[in-house]
Structure 1
């Protein structure tokens, strides 16, 4: 299982992140709460993030099989 995190920073501080285990954006600061609330309401965006997890799984399997064969 792949744990996908999409982390967002402003002024070198993480303020919100997408957690694939929870399937939503999580605010890290008060500044991130409005963004998390807004993005979590966008069902297309949330679905895109979930689709990115599937892309990561696919790419991981390709890379893993290639590197495992080289050992």
Structure 2
């Protein structure tokens, strides 16, 4: 199988505040303004589970359709 990666970027006013990377498995703050949101989302199991399974829902499905 091919290695597939999911990245979700959260941008406000053209500045990336935080992101989720399926290789890391957590939300990571890119600015001080993103720290509270990343901390909150990382403390919520259902939010993390949804983000972690996104690679299977979106990326692998679309990747297989393109190959």
* TM-based fold match above 0.5: yes
Aligned counterpart for 1:59 among listed residues 32, 47, 62: 62
Aligned partner of residue 14 in structure 1, secondary structure: strand
User: Mind listing any 5+ residue stretches in structure 1 that lack a counterpart?
Assistant: 65-71
Aligned residues between the structures: 64
State the structure with bigger RCO (CA 8 A, min sep 6), 1 or 2: 2
| TM-score, scaled relative to structure 2 | 0.88
Report the secondary structure of 1:7's partner residue.
Answer: strand
More helix by share: 1
1:62 Cα deviation after fit:
2.3
Deviations for 1:11-52, whole angstroms, at most 9, x for unmatched residues?
Answer: 110000001001000000000000000000111111111111
- 1:1-71 mapped onto 2 (5 Å cutoff): 1-55=3-57, 56-64=59-67
Cα RMSD for the two superposed structures = 0.9
Normalised by the size of structure 1, how large is the TM-score?
A: 0.83
Give unmatched runs, 5+ long, in structure 2.
none
Residue in structure 2 matched with residue 68 of structure 1 by the alignment: none
